[in-house]
């Protein structure tokens, strides 16, 4: 079905946490088995107009792995200019930050129906530090307390930068319970200084212990002035679980175990981590960089200098001028694509994962636009066997 703004049925809630969705019932995927194959692309749009309360700055392309990117849900998100966006299947919620310094809220949008990807009413977590958010992540700690029960504590993480060599990592436990004016419980569990760094992204890397995640923070520059790259931190569980809450952690007590400096690349953008595929992608300038075997790349105790990407997607064929958001479909068998937003062309393009070594890769679906909206960050939810 061709996308049309006029064909949508608009459900508008005229409050600050208003939420709008549009989709016709006959737009639902008819593929046999599609109900157990999830491929949803979340798009966070830059657009915000205080004088236009119906401007929709979030969309979900569902499914995103068929022959077009036209099948969409369209939403009015309260974010004042859509920034980093994240979906977590355990949380059954979308998390979205803003790109404007005036917006100090993280949006929490729970799913009313996970099977069909229908979000419910949004809520917001407000804190003065939630400005210039560069990345979001969701961490879950689980501990068996008996043969039949376990304690689970989820955290929403956000990395921010003020643009003058000062970045922070914030941890918010049970984020769904922190929306609105709850009173009593502190909003922030941990404020962790990342020191003299201009952060550009946030990603959690898997380890052999599901409760232990490595924190990967991309940066434009740090105190060494050695270029752009990634800092890897290994004490996330210690800070969030083992130590007392409501503490401010200085950078001397949260030091990276190592750093990786990317040779000749600057202004690193958002990151997509695909552990099943053994890939990590990041945008840089006019290129999309891919690194193989991130588990090995981001391990060790010594910094790695002048690391070159394994694949560089660039050239006339890719049709990108300023690639920004990137998302890899990490499903083992069904994941065949990666997606890129372009800030200059205001487009989403889809590329095959096969042929990354060619570099000047032709998109599978090129330059998809959504009216005059400006796609910014994107996130791909790909699940082969979802647990509904």
pLDDT tens per residue across span 282-341: 999 999 999 999 999 999 999 999 999 999 999 999 999 999 999 999 999 999 999 999
Calpha distance 215→203 (Å, rounded): 6
Mean pLDDT throughout 243-247? 80
pLDDT tens per residue across span 362-373: 999 999 999 899
Residue 282: per-residue pLDDT: 98
**Per this entry, what is the length of the chain?**
388
Torsion, Cα 118 46 191 245, to 10 degrees, reads -10
Q: Is the confidence at residue 172, as pLDDT, over 70?
A: yes
Residue 320 near residue 368 (C-beta atoms within 8 A): no
3-state secondary structure (DSSP) of residue 131: coil
Residue 200: per-residue pLDDT: 96
Q: Is the confidence at residue 5, as pLDDT, over 50?
A: no
Phi, psi at 375, each rounded to 5°: -65, 135
Tokens representing 371 are 């009216």
Phi, psi at 284, each rounded to 5°: -155, 110
Calpha distance 89→126 (Å, rounded): 23
Calpha distance 194→166 (Å, rounded): 7
Residue 249 near residue 191 (C-beta atoms within 8 A): yes
**Stated pTM of the model:** 0.88
Residue 262 near residue 305 (C-beta atoms within 8 A): no
Tokens representing 192 are 């962790």
């Amino acid at each position: 079905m061709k996308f049309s703004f006029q064909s949508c049925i608009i459900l508008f809630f005229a409050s600050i946490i208003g939420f709008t969705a549009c989709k016709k019932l006959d737009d639902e995927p008819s593929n046999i088995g599609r109900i157990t194959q999830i491929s949803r692309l979340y798009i966070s749009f830059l657009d915000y107009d205080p004088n236009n309360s119906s401007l929709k700055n979030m969309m979900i392309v569902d499914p995103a792995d068929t022959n077009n990117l036209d099948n969409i849900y369209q939403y009015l998100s309260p974010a004042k200019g859509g920034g980093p966006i994240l979906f977590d299947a355990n949380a059954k919620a979308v998390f979205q930050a803003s790109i404007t310094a005036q917006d100090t809220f993280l949006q929490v949008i729970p799913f009313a129906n996970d099977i069909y990807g229908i979000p419910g009413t949004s809520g917001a977590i407000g804190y003065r530090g939630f400005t210039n958010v560069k990345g979001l992540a969701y961490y879950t700690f689980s501990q068996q307390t008996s043969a039949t029960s376990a304690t689970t504590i989820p955290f929403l993480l956000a990395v921010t930068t003020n643009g003058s060599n000062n970045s922070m990592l914030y941890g918010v436990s049970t984020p769904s319970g922190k929306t609105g004016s709850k009173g009593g419980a502190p909003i922030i569990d941990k404020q962790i200084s990342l020191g003299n760094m201009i952060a550009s992204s946030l990603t959690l890397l898997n380890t052999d212990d599901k409760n232990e995640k490595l924190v990967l923070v991309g940066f434009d520059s740090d105190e060494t002035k050695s270029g752009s790259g990634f800092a890897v931190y290994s004490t996330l569980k210690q800070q969030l679980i083992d130590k007392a809450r409501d503490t401010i952690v200085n950078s001397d007590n949260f030091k990276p175990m190592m750093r990786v400096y990317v040779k000749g690349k600057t202004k690193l953008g958002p990151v997509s981590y695909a552990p099943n595929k053994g890939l990590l992608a990041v945008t840089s300038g006019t290129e999309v960089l891919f690194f193989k075997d991130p588990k090995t790349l981001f391990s060790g105790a010594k910094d790695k200098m002048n690391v070159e990407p394994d694949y560089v997607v660039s050239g006339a064929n890719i049709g990108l001028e300023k690639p920004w958001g990137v998302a890899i479909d990490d499903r083992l068998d069904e994941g065949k694509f990666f997606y890129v937003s372009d800030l200059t062309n205001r487009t989403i393009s889809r590329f095959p994962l096969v042929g990354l070594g060619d570099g000047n890769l032709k998109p599978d679906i090129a330059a998809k636009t959504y009216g005059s909206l400006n796609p910014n960050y994107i996130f791909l939810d790909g699940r082969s066997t979802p647990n509904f």
